[in-house]
Structure 1
Amino acid sequence: MALQDKIDQDIKAAMLAKDNATLRGLRAIKAAILLAKTEKGPAEELSEQTEISVLQKLAKQRRESAEIYQQQNREDLYQIEMEELAVIERFLPKQLSREEIEANVRQLIAETGATGPKDMGKVMGLANKRLAGKADGKTISEIAKTLLTGG
């Protein structure tokens, strides 16, 4: 079942259940997918990878907003962002733990023969392809930088 069909079904269920938090998150996903489709062209279907990248972008936006709201002691807005994030994460693949990411990056460093920070681009290019959808690029970058600088 296509992601958009699943979202439409879940929107109907959330409306019937009067679950406003879930409904907000689902509508945000639907809007982002429709926007991505119109950018590709009217007859184009989104690939699964494109759908995942759209969801990751939404999740990242929610995390960043939540962090800002928390710093500004706006618990009400923080809660809204976290509720929407929980809905978005239901549609993302299982995220790797920091330890799993580190193990993958170590393996990639060995495969590429990277020896220091100058090889960061080589490692990151491969890591972003292999771990796409399973890990945040910022986390991958932090781990790779630490490992390549000997930290």
Structure 2
Amino acid sequence: MALQDKIDQEIKSAMLAKDSVRLRGLRAIKAAILLAKTEKGPTEVLTEDTEIAVLQKLAKQRRESASVYQQQNRDDLYQIEVEELAVIESFLPAQLSREDIERIVKQVITETGATGPKDMGKVMGPANQKLAGKADGKTISEIAKALLVGG
């Protein structure tokens, strides 16, 4: 089942259950998917990878907004972002642990022959491909940088 169809069904369920928090998150996902679809063209179908990328983008936006709101002591807005983030993350594939990400990045470093920080670009492309949907880019970058500086 396509993600959009699943979201539509979840929206109906949330409406029937009068779950306004879940409904708000689901509507944000639906809006982002529709926007991505219109950017690709009316006849184009979104691939699963594109749908995951849209969800990751939404999750990243919510994390960043929540962080800003928390720093500004805006608990009301912070809570909204965290609630929507939980709904969005429920549709994302399970995220890998830091140890698993580190193991994969080490493997990429070995495969690419990277030797230091100057080879960061060589490592990030393949690492992002292998970890697409399973880890966020910021974490991958932090781990790669630490391994290349230390290694």
TM-score bracket relative to the smaller structure: over 0.9
Measured in 2, the distance between the counterparts of 1:75 and 1:103 equals 37
Aligned residues: CA RMSD: 0.8
Per-residue CA shift, 1:129-149, capped at 9, x if unaligned? 110111000110011001101
Match of 1:104 in 2: 104
Query: How many residues align structurally?
Result: 151
Q: CA deviation at 1:99?
A: 1.2
The 5-angstrom pairing of residues 1-151 of structure 1 reads 1-150=1-150
Measured in 1, the distance between the counterparts of 2:115 and 2:38 equals 43
Measured in 2, the distance between the counterparts of 1:127 and 1:106 equals 9
Calculate the TM-score normalised by the size of structure 1. Answer: 0.98
SS at match of 2:12: helix
Q: CA deviation at 1:11?
A: 0.1
Query: Which 4+ residue blocks in structure 1 deviate beyond 2 angstroms?
Result: none
Q: Name stretches of at least 5 consecutive residues in structure 2 with no aligned partner.
A: none
Calculate the TM-score normalised by the size of structure 2. Answer: 0.98
Measured in 2, the distance between the counterparts of 1:23 and 1:101 equals 32
Tell me which amino acid in the other structure corresponds to 2:3: L
Per-residue CA shift, 1:93-128, capped at 9, x if unaligned? 100111111111111111111110111111001001
